[in-house]
Chains A and B, each alone.
Chain A
Amino acid sequence: MSSTIKTYGIWIVAALLLLLFPYVFSAGASLTTMCLMGIMIIFALSYNMLLGQTGMLSFGHAVYYGLAAFVTAHTMNWAAKAGYPIPLPLIPVAGAATGLFFGIVFGWVSTKRGGTAFAMISLGLAELVYSSSLILRSFFGGEEGISADRTKLFRVFGYNFGPQIQVYYLIAFWTLLCVILMYAITRTPLGRMCNAVRENQERVEFVGYNPQFVRFIAFSLAGLFAGVAGSLAAINIELAQASFVGAGQSGVVLLAAYIGGVAFFVGPVLGAIVVTLLSIKLSDFSEIWLLYFGILFITVILFAPYGLSGLLMMHAQFWRGPLGSKIARFGRLLGAYVIAAIPALIMLAGAILLIEMIHHVAQKGAEGANMHFLRRSYLTVNTRSVLPWVGGLIALFAGFFAFRFTWPTVANAWHKALLDAQRSGK
């Protein structure tokens, strides 16, 4: 009984949270954001079946996402027109089938090789599909794409899926289902052989497995789940566009997986949440948010190669001993982090101010000298005055040196926490 709770408990909690989220985050915009997050979580986890689990770097995972979105839009239109009794919640099955189908077809070609060759083939296939999306107009709908009306489908229990809240629950259901399935797959013979192929594909051949076939199955299954994500995306915005199969979409999923961390199952989930949030919220503060996005990516690669989940997991070793000592230990560590964070934020503010002013002068000098820093009118900065430039530089450099000065404090706190945790035993 207790092992049952241990096994399924986390999923039950996740299901309850998904049920409650719309009441906690009740603003209309949050509902939209959460829908996008769910879709991105499935997509990023499916991508990690390749990158994190099997060690395959794909530059074209959006192909399976995008093609499934188009098939979904067509299926919705066809079902609505012919009046077939296919309810909307079952439509992602068509997306899954599409993703699986193209995963099998393209996977058969591209998984013949691993490593760099695989990465290059994935890039080539992505370009191939993207360019055909501009040629095959009847299927891809040209520039405007294929739109669909999700409310026209067969209704069950009177739900027409017009309101976003109904779509939210549809997406939440599929997200939970896909996450559970993808997690379960990591704990099967195939899942473990994927890890083995990632670690040492040559040795795999000498324990009876064909690494090529392991890659092929992993790729096909990743296509299936990417297909579900693409299908939900089409349902969510009632549209499938050429950009869905494009390099940008393939890039975003790579970023999400990497920022979250590919070494842990939960990594891409975190990455999907952060990347979705940033891509929505950052544009409220800056026109050049993509630049900051890129800087974040580089920072993660350089300083936290295991991503956000890696940073979190590094702290698991401190979770030892009685509760009181755990809290005290984390409290001291947190104190050191805050001390380091203050100058780091000053440095960051200086850098952003300078970047924004350069952008303003270079791109929008004609609109006048005044710039709304972070797009806030109460933060108006005169770019022709010397003061903000000097201030920005001082914040940048002083912040940086003060930040460096705090590193020993953090290292010391870390070291102490480690000793303390070791002393407390298990």
Chain B
Amino acid sequence: MNSAVELKSLEKRFGKTEIIRGVSLDVKSGERHAVIGPNGAGKSTLFNLISGRFMPSAGSIHLRGENITGLRPFEINRRGLSRSFQVTNIFPRLSVWENVRCAVLWSKGYKYSFWRNIDKLEDVRARTQEILQLINMTDRAEIPAGVLSYADQRALEIGITIAGGADIILLDEPTAGMSRSETEQAVALIRKVSEGRTLIIIEHDMGVVFDLADRISVLVYGQIIATDEPAKIKANQKVQEAYLGAAGHD
């Protein structure tokens, strides 16, 4: 199998604080890969490095073999990697429709066009409609995104993330703060949208992780201590000591 995202001895320091301490990871194309670890392990920082939000202090990031270290977020996004955020990051005063449409535009090649009537772009309209159906929000298309319920905003966050048709998707705690039934819906949605794509997901809910992931990486204090299939991760002695044991104290 080809590699979708490959990290080579990645490091990130903020001043003297080392957050990511030499992470190497190879996420295969088409797999659903979960990153777990205790709070403060550096999971979100890892996503910020992969998606170009932060510059790594050392090491390199490869996207399908291409070195993308140091590229800006929009350049990485255009290469087919899209991410969501742990804290909902949408366009609050734009309608749900506009939110999704903004995320569709670039992938349809309209770039910075200021001579085309946006409402007449049939391919953009169709794709926006498709995404809204997928996240089940067709009936709320005209509502400003900022007034949606929390769970709906999380769904919209995923909608924006997948709208551009990226084939590598990073989801940062998509079910955080959700009720049981909301989580179930979110997992069903994630399963659906990650069909045929590469998914990297940060998640605290172990039920979700073991349900969804093909492989799991455990990040503890900026280092990956194990990467393996769910059953083997569960049985891994090091993981139990470092992570599952620590979680037991919560």
Q: Which residue of A lies closest to B104 (CB)?
A: A207
Contact residues, B48-96 vs A (CB, 8 A): 51-52, 72-74, 77-78, 82-83, 85, 89-94
Judge whether A221 and B114 touch: CB under 8 Å: yes
Q: How far is the CA of A188 from the CA of B110 in the complex (A)?
A: 10
Judge whether A187 and B51 touch: CB under 8 Å: no
Chain A residues near B121 (CB, 8 Å)?
A: 189
Q: Which residue of A lies closest to B76 (CB)?
A: A206
Chain A residues near B106 (CB, 8 Å)?
A: 207-209
Judge whether A206 and B51 touch: CB under 8 Å: yes
Judge whether A213 and B112 touch: CB under 8 Å: yes
Q: Residue B101 at the A interface, CB < 8 A?
A: yes
Q: How far is the CA of A221 from the CA of B121 in the complex (A)?
A: 22
Contact residues, B169-209 vs A (CB, 8 A): none
User: Contact mask A168-206 → B, CB, 8 Å, 1/0?
Assistant: 000000000000000011011111110110011011111
The answer, among B72, B105, B111, for a CB contact under 8 Å with A205, is B72
Q: Residue B113 at the A interface, CB < 8 A?
A: yes
Q: How far is the CA of A205 from the CA of B83 in the complex (A)?
A: 11
Judge whether A192 and B101 touch: CB under 8 Å: yes
Chain A residues near B216 (CB, 8 Å)?
A: none
Q: Residue B139 at the A interface, CB < 8 A?
A: no
Contact residues, A74-109 vs B (CB, 8 A): none
Q: Which residue of A lies closest to B113 (CB)?
A: A189
Judge whether A188 and B115 touch: CB under 8 Å: yes
Q: How far is the CA of A190 from the CA of B110 in the complex (A)?
A: 9
Asked whether A188 and B102 contact (CB < 8 A) given A200-B92, A207-B160, the answer is: no
Q: Residue A160 at the B interface, CB < 8 A?
A: no
Asked whether A189 and B90 contact (CB < 8 A) given A206-B77, A208-B164, A213-B112, the answer is: no
The answer, among A193, A200, A207, for a CB contact under 8 Å with B112, is A193
Q: Which residue of B lies closest to A193 (CB)?
A: B102
Asked whether A195 and B116 contact (CB < 8 A) given A189-B111, A207-B106, A210-B74, the answer is: no
Q: Residue B137 at the A interface, CB < 8 A?
A: no
Q: How far is the CA of A170 from the CA of B74 in the complex (A)?
A: 44
B74 to chain A minimum Cβ distance, whole angstroms, is: 5
Q: Residue A73 at the B interface, CB < 8 A?
A: no
Chain A residues near B111 (CB, 8 Å)?
A: 189
Q: Which residue of B lies closest to A188 (CB)?
A: B114
Q: How far is the CA of A187 from the CA of B110 in the complex (A)?
A: 13
Judge whether A190 and B91 touch: CB under 8 Å: no
Q: Which residue of B lies closest to A202 (CB)?
A: B89
Judge whether A206 and B102 touch: CB under 8 Å: no
Q: Residue A217 at the B interface, CB < 8 A?
A: yes
Judge whether A189 and B77 touch: CB under 8 Å: no
Chain B residues near A213 (CB, 8 Å)?
A: 112
Judge whether A205 and B89 touch: CB under 8 Å: no
User: Looking at chain A's contact residues, is the secondary structure mostly helix, strand, loop, or mixed?
Assistant: helix
Chain A residues near B110 (CB, 8 Å)?
A: 189
Asked whether A206 and B83 contact (CB < 8 A) given A189-B110, A189-B116, the answer is: yes
User: Contact mask B108-137 → A, CB, 8 Å, 1/0?
Assistant: 001111111111010000000000000000
Q: Which residue of B lies closest to A191 (CB)?
A: B114
Judge whether B91 and A188 touch: CB under 8 Å: no
Q: Residue B23 at the A interface, CB < 8 A?
A: no
Judge whether A206 and B117 touch: CB under 8 Å: no
Q: Residue A68 at the B interface, CB < 8 A?
A: no
Q: Residue B10 at the A interface, CB < 8 A?
A: no
A204 to chain B minimum Cβ distance, whole angstroms, is: 8
Chain A residues near B91 (CB, 8 Å)?
A: 195-196, 199-200, 203
Q: How far is the CA of A423 from the CA of B107 in the complex (A)?
A: 44
Q: Residue B233 at the A interface, CB < 8 A?
A: no
Q: How far is the CA of A196 from the CA of B90 in the complex (A)?
A: 9
Judge whether B163 and A207 touch: CB under 8 Å: yes
Q: How far is the CA of A203 from the CA of B82 in the complex (A)?
A: 11
B151 to chain A minimum Cβ distance, whole angstroms, is: 19
Chain B residues near A185 (CB, 8 Å)?
A: 114
For the complex of A and B, list the 10 residue pairs with the smallest distance between their C-beta atoms, beginning with the closest: A208-B106, A190-B114, A199-B91, A205-B73, A207-B103, A189-B110, A208-B77, A196-B102, A189-B113, A188-B114
- List 18 other contacts, CB 8 Å, given A188-B116, A190-B112: A187-B117, A188-B113, A189-B105, A189-B114, A189-B116, A191-B118, A193-B112, A196-B98, A199-B91, A200-B89, A203-B160, A205-B73, A206-B73, A206-B161, A207-B74, A208-B77, A210-B74, A221-B114
B residues neighboring A (CB under 8 Å):
51-52, 72-74, 77-78, 82-83, 85, 89-94, 98, 101-103, 105-107, 110-119, 121, 160-161, 163-164
List 26 A–B pairs whose Cβ atoms lie within 8 Å, in order of A's numbering. A185-B114, A188-B115, A188-B116, A188-B117, A189-B105, A189-B110, A189-B112, A190-B112, A192-B101, A192-B118, A195-B91, A199-B92, A200-B91, A203-B85, A203-B90, A206-B77, A206-B82, A207-B77, A207-B106, A207-B160, A207-B164, A209-B74, A209-B106, A210-B72, A217-B112, A217-B114
